[in-house]
Amino acid sequence: MLENVRVSRLVKCGQKVLTLKADASVCEAARLMQANKVGCLVVMNAQGNIAGIVTERDIVTKVVATGGDPAFVRVADIMTAKVLAITPQVELAKAQQIMAQHDIRHLPVVDDGGLVGMISSRDIMAQQLSTAQDTIRVQSQRLQDIEKRYPGISRLQTDALGRIII
């Protein structure tokens, strides 16, 4: 269902991606995530390039669970510095595969070296659900059309192998 669907279909290029600087506190990061209802932020360096990514999971496992003080721990200390990113031309199936292989839930989207968006596993699942619902609608309409042409056909009984019982 995700083949031939590109990341660009879900990511609105030009849409503002939430970022913060590596020297920001974890408390600032958590507040920014909470205010914007997101689960991760892209961390930028002084040159405006991606330096890392920080997630809710990072905050919980690397600060809260270890007794750290979010007001004094810096994002640079807990962020993932090795960031995987994709381009808008990547197929959603490939993005999903990358996320699964690396056990991550967010992928920054870059184009011409610049950050243009973010895609999450939730975005991909929503696309899959939408596609499945569209397929169900089309198939239901086809069944209704067949039933109009051949009344009673949808009530035929079949055996375990799908053969019609006469």
Q: Is the separation of the CB atoms in 41 and 20 below 8 Å? A: yes
The dihedrals phi and psi of 119, each to the nearest 5 degrees, come to: -125, 140
- Reduced to 3 states (helix: H, G, I; strand: E, B; else coil), residue 163 is coil
Q: What is the pLDDT of residue 9?
A: 86
Reported confidence tier of residue 14, pLDDT bands at 50, 70, 90:
low
Q: Quick check: 117 pLDDT over 80?
A: yes
Q: Quick check: 155 pLDDT over 80?
A: no
Q: Which domains occur in the chain, in start order?
A: 7-124 (3.10.580.10)
The pTM of this model reads 0.77
Task: Enumerate helices (H) and strands (E) in the chain, giving the number of each.
Answer: 5, 5
Computed over every residue of the chain, the mean pLDDT equals 90
Q: Quick check: 56 pLDDT over 70?
A: yes
65-68-74-80 Cα dihedral, nearest 10 degrees: -20
Residue 93: count of CB within 10 angstroms of its CB: 15
Q: Which residue has the tokens 């007794």?
A: 67
